[in-house]
Amino acid sequence: MKLSFKYQFIISFVTLGAFFVMMIAYINFQAIETTTQRLIDQKIEYLKTTSSKLLGKPLSIYDIATIDDIVGGLSTLKSIKGIKVVDKQDKVISQSGYSKIDNTFLQIRHSITQDNITLGSIVFCLDFSKHYQYIEKNRIQTIQIIFIEILLSILFSYIIGYRISRDLEELTTVAQKIGNDVDIDLPSKQSSNEISKLSYAMKEMQIEIKDRSCRLLEQQNMVDKYVIISATDLEGNITYASEAFCQISGFTKAELIGENHRIVRHLDMPKELYKDLWQTITQEKSWEGEIKNCRKDGKFYWINAHIDPIYNRFDKHIGYRAIREDITDKKRVEELSITDRLTKLYNRLKIDEVFAYEIEQAKRYHTPLAIIMLDLDKFKSVNDIFGHQVGDEVLQALASILQSQSRSVDLVGRWGGEEFIIIAPNIQLKGALVLAQKLRKSIEEHRFNQVGQKTASFGVSEYIDEDTQESMIARADKALFMAKNAGRNQVVVSIDNSNYQTSEEF
């Protein structure tokens, strides 16, 4: 039968107490016995030292008178009961008080020598019976004391052990109930019982932990609901996705977990951005940037992402965590502020910003840069004949042609009225001329609704040393003016401030 913790504790406590008492009693008995034996040894040593002056004399001198003198000289040793002198054959020559000696007495024999020849022995008879009786008496008393102390220790150990085990059992019960989140009735906080005080403190701690856990859970739910968070392993596979991430992406958690973040990647985002992102985070550094993502239904949304490495409790890198902010509305506002409302192309505000950046890049890295300015020929007649609504449709169609026929790195914008501009980075003047001719032919071949065929004139300029936005625009505008004067539907390039050529001449 398995004993409960309570009885196991009591038995262990009682056994330990009894053992402790026995050890004390045993040490006490050993000390008394050792002390008594040391006293006997001291007496024997004194006897040897005192009687040694008699040794070495002729055997004939050890008569009764001499022995009596010896006994008288050793009168301080009350343990001496008799002395006798014997020859080599153990024949008694003389003795004093030896007739009453029995085998229970201690006999100490000293050899009598002369000129290194043993003549006989002198035998002392010692009675240490009182000492040994004292030791035996002490032994019996010690055993009695041990027995009484063991009984008392068992009694007190049981009482103390029972009380402690009862309190421990109560504390264990409280801890188990607290662990199982079971409400318990506890004594007053003012109780003098230490276990009760501890139980009360544990209950208060349980209440505090529950309150904090509830608040933490509420905060976690709020974060999950309103903060766009995801976590991945080292390969970029999603291991966690918040509810907010699911809502903005249109995917469920089941559809996201285990997938790569490519599942929300938008085709408009350049590969270079993701390359920089991945190189940064694989070096266990943080990355932050704006990303355009694609929803499950094909719509897009913008986020500002902050990605950090994740470490386990052993400080081992195990993945990445991304916290995102939905900036779709912000991007829409930005887009409206930099977009021409009619054509949906970039307006002058955005054109100026990008143009300044590209000129700075050309200056710093000595990379080529060109701009193309174009104007729809005789557009005023369209408004006069067909009305402004048809004229707006023509401009919208022209914007679509420019967007579709330009390179992905080019910026196409509306400069004003029927005049448009294309900023073309990393392209030489000859390449810009080819692009302009391509656009001119595409416009010429297009049939505009109600209007039919329309043409456009182009002016092209290239960045040269010490150029500014104004100087490049001025040369391209002058080239456009010359194309108009040369009969329209032409491309004129500006080689420098004074040299302009048509596409045929160039």
Domain membership flag for residue 221: no
Sheet of 411-416: strands edge to edge?
Answer: 411-416, 419-425, 369-376, 456-462, 491-494, 500-502
pLDDT confidence of 56, banded at 50, 70, 90?
very low
Inform me whether the pLDDT recorded for 1 exceeds 50: no
Predicted confidence (pLDDT) at residue 70 exceeds the cutoff of 60: no
More confident residue, 15 or 225: 225
Q: Is the pLDDT of residue 157 over 80?
A: no
Same domain, 315 and 352: no
- Give the model's pLDDT for residue 453: 94
Q: Minimum mean pLDDT among 65-69, 295-299, 314-318: which range?
A: 65-69
79, 137: one domain: yes
Domain assignment present for 129: yes
User: Of 284, 303, 332, which one is at a domain's C-terminal end?
Assistant: 332
Q: Are 37 and 111 within one domain?
A: yes
| Position with higher pLDDT, 313 vs 129 | 313
Most confident range, picked from 75-89, 209-223, 298-312: 298-312
Contacts of 307 (CB under 8 A, 6+ apart): 277, 281, 286, 287, 288, 320, 321, 322
Q: Which of 282, 284, 238 is nearest to 257 (CA)?
A: 238
If you average pLDDT over residues 249-273, what whole number do you get? 91
Query: For residue 222, is it within any domain?
Result: no
Q: Which of 70-79, 140-149, 160-169, 358-367 has the lowest mean pLDDT?
A: 70-79
Q: Are residues 33 and 127 in the same domain?
A: yes
Do the Cβ atoms of 326 and 264 come closer than 8 Å?
A: no
Q: What percent of the chain has pLDDT over 70?
A: 72
- 205 part of a folded domain: no
Q: Range with the lowest mean pLDDT among 277-281, 299-303, 493-497?
A: 493-497
Question: Which of 299, 315, 332 is where one domain is finished?
Answer: 332
> Which of 249, 242, 238, 205 lies closest to 220, judged by CA?
242
Please indicate, yes or no, whether residues 251 and 170 belong to a single structural domain of this protein.
no
The answer to whether residues 362 and 495 belong to one domain is yes
- Which residues are CB-contacts of 461 (< 8 A; sequence separation ≥ 6)? 370, 371, 472, 473, 475, 476, 479, 493, 494
Catalytic position from the list 194, 418, 445, 505: 418
pLDDT band per the 50, 70, 90 thresholds, residue 58: very low
Q: Give the C-alpha separation, 220 to 244, whole Å.
A: 12
Q: Quick one: which of 63, 53, 55, 103 has its CA closest to 81?
A: 103
pLDDT at 257 exceeding the cut of 90 = yes
| pLDDT higher at 452 or 46 | 452
Query: Both 152 and 293 in a single domain?
Result: no
- pLDDT tens-digit readout, 96-147: 666 555 555 667 777 777 667 777 777 777 666 676 676 677 777 777 777 7
Domain count for the chain: 3
Q: Which of 106, 46, 33 is nearest to 74 (CA)?
A: 46
Q: How many CB atoms lie within 10 A of CB 26?
A: 12
In a domain, 450, yes or no: yes
**347 domain residue, yes or no:** yes
CATH number of 304's domain? 3.30.450.20
| pLDDT in the model for residue 59 | 45
CATH number assigned to the domain comprising residue 417 = 3.30.70.270
Is 208 within a domain? no
How far apart, in Å, are the Cα atoms of 358 and each of 271, 407, 434, 473, 478?
20, 16, 20, 14, 21
Domain co-membership, 358 together with 487: yes
Task: Give domain status of residue 6, yes or no.
Answer: yes
Query: Looking at 266, 297, 332, which one is the last position of a domain?
Result: 332
Task: Label residue 184 by pLDDT band (50, 70, 90).
Answer: low
Q: Are residues 292 and 265 in the same domain?
A: yes
Could you give the CA distance from residue 74 to residue 48 in angstroms, rounded to a whole number? 11
Name, in order, each residue with C-beta under 8 angstroms of 15's C-beta and a sequence gap of 6 or more. none
The least confident of 111-120, 215-224, 316-325, 351-360 is 111-120
Residue 68 pLDDT exceeds 70: no
Q: Is the pLDDT of residue 164 over 90?
A: no
Of residues 83 and 105, the one with the higher pLDDT is 83
Lowest mean pLDDT among 176-185, 273-282, 364-373: 176-185
**Same domain as 154, residue 32:** yes
Residues 281 and 367 in one domain: no
Catalytic status, residue 418: yes
Average pLDDT over residues 367-383: 95
Per-residue model confidence as pLDDT tens digits over 383-426: 999 999 999 999 999 999 999 999 989 999 999 989 999 999 99
How would you list the strands of the sheet with 80-87, edge to edge?
A: 92-96, 80-87, 117-126, 106-114
pLDDT above 50 (res 55): no
Same domain, 104 and 36: yes
Show the domain range for 346: 339-502
